[in-house]
Amino acid sequence: MKVLVPIKRVIDFNVKVRVKADHSNVDLANVKMAINPFCEIAVEEAVRLKEAGTATEVIAVSIGAKACQEQLRTALALGADRAIHIETELTLDAINIAKLLQKIVEEEQPQLVILGKQSIDSDNNQTGQMLAALTNMAQGTFASEVKIDGDKVNVTREVDGGLQTVALNLPAIVTTDLRLNEPRYASLPNIMKAKRKPLDVKPADSFGIDLSPRTQILKVTPPAEREAGIIVESIDELVQKLKNEAKVIS
Amino acid sequence: MAAAMLNDRDVEFMLYELFNTDSLCQRERYQDHDRQTFNDVLKTAKRIAEKEFLPIRQKLDKHQPTFDGKTISLIPELKPALEVLRGSGLTSATADYEYDGMQLPPIVASIASAYLWIAGGNSIGYSLLTNANANLLQAHGNKELIEKWVKPLRSGCYSGTMAMSEPGCGSSLGDLITRATRDENGNYRITGSKIFISGGDHNLSENIVHLVLARIAGAPIGVKGISLFVVPKYLVDDNGVIGEENEVALAGLFHKMGGSSQTSTALSFGEKNGSIGYLVGEENRGLQYMFHMMNEARIMVGSGAAALALAGFQYSLDYAKNRSQGRLPSSKDPLSPMVNIIEHADVRRMLLAQKAYAEGSLALVLYGTQLSDDSHTAATEDERSYAHLLLDFLTPVIKTWPSEYGPEANDLAIQVLGGHGYINEHPVELFYRDNRLNSIHEGTTAIQSLDLLARKVPMNNLAGYLATLAEIKKTMAIANEFEQLHGYANELNDAVETLKQTTNALLTAMKTQNIDLVLANSVKYLELFGHVVIAWLWLKQGIVAIRGLLDQPHSEDEAFYRGKVQTLKYFYRFELPQIYAWSTLLVNLDSSSFDMEEHWF
């Protein structure tokens, strides 16, 4: 069984995000980047399936500028067998990502696609669902447990009220939640081996898809700085302020 | 968010801006590497430190190893953590591919180790010692020894120690009395007692391989009659099967003020028939073999001291940014909100001092680590021997300055936290206790100072000394290209002149005066030399920072570079001028200590 794991290069979660002075976007100059944490969990799950003998091959795929090959190398160091880089300088909407992934799914015919439920930069939570629709595959989102059972996969989902387990026919799409697993450490020998694993590069415009953006970023502003508090003289003053200034009581 | 172990921005600065680690990838040995493999290794090291060792750091400290007369017990969480560490390949990262290493440049491995030291303390020592033991056997053992012992050491089935000190001799190894006598099978029988053997016994591995210094019957007296032996805890047959005990008895455990997760043992060898020992290399050359790795071992001590200094700095910095207490002297309103303690100038002084000591030490140990690497892997023979010359000369400084000023930094970290620094709810007192060993082991500060002044300076017509001064001069020339650094370059120049005058005075006195008196203040000479070297490395950092600032960095980088330049200033104002007082003591052959008589105390 082939497993396809789409991954995304994002700003490292430890980094304090800066906004560009002209508010056009987040400032990524000289910023540490990393594999999206949800995607790392997806890679780990796929590698575990391989180690369990369920999966035969794990293919990592990423879409973006040349630099995202770094994250593909990370996926290879964690145990993916080979990688595909769809190269583009464009910033793509989720729908265009999903359309490109659809092409890869058609080429590779994986039985399972595991991907993060969302990326920590844009927080869209769309790609997995869109890919399921485009490929007409079953989907199990927000997975906290994945069990292959013959030609089905049982996915335990983290839903608002608790947990829900669904059985999906393969091929299927699973999106990962944080509790699915704890990703391993890339061992040093595997970091070195990753450099020799195959990594195919395909230009995004070779797939014949209209990649023009559907959305446009108008403005990015950082959250307001928290202002210093004040000490009030009396309860009455506090009540007055809550009423008249904060307007949280009436 | 919890305090960082290391400032990741500073790690990047040190590796890629100050020491240009990227360029190492052009060397044949490192051609498979690039910045990504370096960063991936650091990420793995940091995560293992955070996930496996940080959670047990305090428990390891509180629950010292115990000995019930038969076996040693360590907390059960340690073994799995060490297994994860070994499985990661980090402990043998710098080794050749053929020995399951990754041929990682030592300067990168040094940062990886720093994360592990900070989180795991001395428990990392089990792995490091085992690795050092295997390296030594690999370099000096015959094929048979390598086959039998190095493989299981590398795989982690066995662990290793270095058994040097004895109850009657520590610093003075020439006086050791452990005996080796040849038996009828051509092996040696070892008898004697060893103390302070780190990792000398524990339940973490199947077997323990001791490298033991002993004197063969009839060997010359002093350091020229010492041989090195492999003495395993359990004998192993030719098929690698572990057999009987080899009369290596645990006589007791020492209870240390810090670093308690690594056992420190008293071992008794061969109480009945003698422990079987296998000679390493040739007879009477044991000390040479042991000291073959000494430069590396001493850099490692300095590196550990630097790491703990950095950890204390990060912790107290985080605390100072978040702990509110008191108001500024200018504030007259008792109802005004309290300020975070970092707003008090004296707290900033203590943080600056820590930054100066800790990041200065880090720059020094990384410089030493790179010299050691260059002495093996630089492109030409000339470059290699030049690096070796500098390294050999500077080793006493690289070992000692961080070992003396690292605990000083930790002391200030405790002071920043006040009463909270004195209790074990916070790790700064642990850092201090752990760090306190470093000026003692692998040659005390006094021994290092004698090595520097009496041996290293005069050696080869002052070759190492002059090379070091030439390197400092190069940096001053570059600094003079920047207006902002002129003043510092001049001050460093003055300091170097004073160092030269002091050295010349002492070298002359060594020929004409009572040598015991001339060497009486050698520790101050080492401290003076160390301060000049650290001032030099701060100027180097200043050059990178000024260049960075000219490059219109974004706001965070700008703040980072300004912090470097401000710390440079701090060091040149508060620290460097002390050398003039030390120089006066040295040049005048001050005899305060020398003349003091025992019965006057």
Residues on chain A touching B88 (C-beta within 8 angstroms): 185, 187-188
pLDDT at position A29 is 82
**Structure tokens belonging to residue B51:** 């996930």
Q: Pick the more confident residue, B155 or B220.
A: B220
The residues, ordered by sequence, that sit 6+ positions from A74 with a Cβ below 8 Å of its Cβ are A34, A35, A40, A186, A194, B40
**Domain that includes residue A91, residue range:** 2-219
User: The pTM is what?
Assistant: 0.91
3-state secondary structure of B597: coil
Position A214 in a domain: yes
Choose, out of A31, A191, A195, A199, the residue to mutate when testing the contact with B (most B CBs < 10 Å): A191
Residue A46 included in any domain: yes
What is the SS3 assignment for A224? coil
Question: Are B554 and A29 a contacting pair at CB < 8 A?
Answer: yes
Instruction: With a cut of 80, say whether residue B245 has pLDDT above it.
Output: yes
Q: What is the mean pLDDT of residues B241-245?
A: 94
- Judge: B44–A188 Cβ closer than 8 Å, yes or no: yes
Contact A192 B37 (CB under 8 A): yes
Phi, psi of B273 (to 5 degrees): -105, 0
- Best of B88, B98, B99, B340 to mutate (most A CBs within 10 Å, chain A): B88
CA–CA dist B434, A85 (Å, integer):
47
Domains within chain B, CATH numbers bracketed: 8-136 (1.10.540.10), 159-290 (2.40.110.20), 303-587 (1.20.140.10)
**pLDDT tier for residue B327 given thresholds of 50, 70 and 90:** very high
Say if CB B420 and CB B320 are below 8 A apart. Answer: no
State whether B40 and A29 contact (CB < 8 Å). Answer: no
- Do the Cβ atoms of A73 and B556 come within 8 Å? no
C-alpha to C-alpha distances, A2 to A175, B171, B391, nearest whole angstrom: 16, 63, 53
Q: Do B337 and A231 touch (CB under 8 A)?
A: yes
Residue A66 is classified by DSSP as G
Q: Is residue A226 part of a domain?
A: no
End-to-end CA distance of chain B: 51
The reported pLDDT for the residue numbered A227 is: 79
> DSSP states of B40-99 as a string?
HHHHHHHHHIIIIIHHHHHHHHHS--EE-SS-EE--TTHHHHHHHHHHHTGGGTTS-GGG
The stretch A177-191 carries a mean pLDDT of: 94
Residues of A in contact with B87 (CB under 8 A): 187
Residues in B closer than 8 angstroms to A186, CB to CB, are 40, 43-44
Our count of domains for chain A comes to: 1
Q: Which residues on chain B are in Cβ contact (under 8 Å) with A21?
A: none
pLDDT tens per residue, range B101-123: 899 999 999 999 999 999 998 88
DSSP A226-243: PPP----SSHHHHHHHHH
Which residue among A18, A191, A231 places its CB closest to the CB of B41? A191
Tell which of A181, A192, A231, A233 to mutate to test the B interface (max B CBs under 10 Å): A192
In a domain, A158, yes or no: yes
In tens, the pLDDT along B432-485 reads: 999 999 999 989 999 999 999 999 999 999 999 999 999 999 999 999 999 999
Does residue A165 lie within any of the structural domains? yes
Closest chain A residue by Cα to residue B49: A185
Pairing of strands B242-245, A172-176: unpaired
What is the arithmetic mean of pLDDT over A118-146? Answer: 95
HSE on the CB side for B283, CA within 13 Å?
Answer: 13
Using 50, 70 and 90 to split pLDDT, how confident is the model at B295? Answer: confident
Residues 145-184 of A with CB under 8 A from B: none
Question: Which residue in chain A has the smallest CA separation from B99?
Answer: A189
Residue at A243 is within a domain: no
State the CB neighbour count (10 A cutoff) for residue B278: 19
In the predicted model, what is the mean pLDDT of chain A?
Answer: 94
d(CA A54, CA A1): 7
Q: Pairing mode, if any, of strands A172-176 and A138-149?
A: parallel
* Distance, C-alpha A67 to centroid of its chain: 17
Mean pLDDT of B224-252: 94
- Closest residue, chain A, to B85 (C-alpha): A187
**CB–CB contact B556 A186 (8 Å):** no
Q: Is residue A51 part of a domain?
A: yes
pLDDT at B5 over 60: yes
In the stretch 9-68 of chain A, residues with CB closer than 8 A to chain B read 14, 16, 18, 27, 29-30, 32
Residue A73 C-alpha, separation from nearest chain B C-alpha, in angstroms? 9
Does residue B315 register a pLDDT over 60?
Answer: yes
Q: How far is B88 from chain A (nearest CA, A)?
A: 4
What confidence tier does B1 reach under pLDDT thresholds 50, 70, 90? low
Q: At B423, is the secondary structure helix, strand, or coil?
A: coil
Structure tokens at B442: 């692998």
**Residue B429 above 90 pLDDT?**
yes
> Is A30 close to B554, i.e. CB distance below 8 A?
yes
B→A interface, C-beta within 8 Å:
8, 32, 36-37, 40-41, 43-44, 47-48, 84, 87-90, 93, 100, 102, 104, 335, 337, 553-557
pLDDT for the residue B296? 81
Among all residues of chain A, which has the CA nearest to that of B557?
A30
Helix (H) or strand (E) holding B501: helix B486-512
Q: Which residues in chain A touch residue B41, judged by CB atoms under 8 angstroms apart?
A: 188, 191
Which of chain B's residues have a Cβ under 8 Å away from the Cβ of A189?
Answer: 89, 100, 102
- ipTM field: 0.84
Chain B neighbors of A74, CB-CB under 8 A: 40
Instruction: For chain B, give the mean pLDDT.
Output: 94
Least confident of B204-213, B252-261, B383-392: B252-261
Instruction: Calculate how close chain B gets to A185, using CA atoms only, in Å.
Output: 6
Shortest Cα distance, chain A CAs vs residue B412, angstroms: 28
Count contacts between A and B (CB, < 8 Å): 53
User: Does B393 have pLDDT greater than 60?
Assistant: yes
**Each residue's pLDDT tens digit, A206-221:** 999 999 998 999 999 9
Say yes or no to pLDDT of A237 above 80. yes
Could you tell me if residue A224 is inside a domain? no
Query: Residue A9 belongs to a domain with what CATH number?
Result: 3.40.50.620
Question: Is residue A73 less than 8 Å (CB to CB) from chain B?
Answer: yes
Residues whose CB falls within 8 Å of the CB of residue B519, separated by 6 or more in sequence, listed in order:
B450, B453, B454, B510
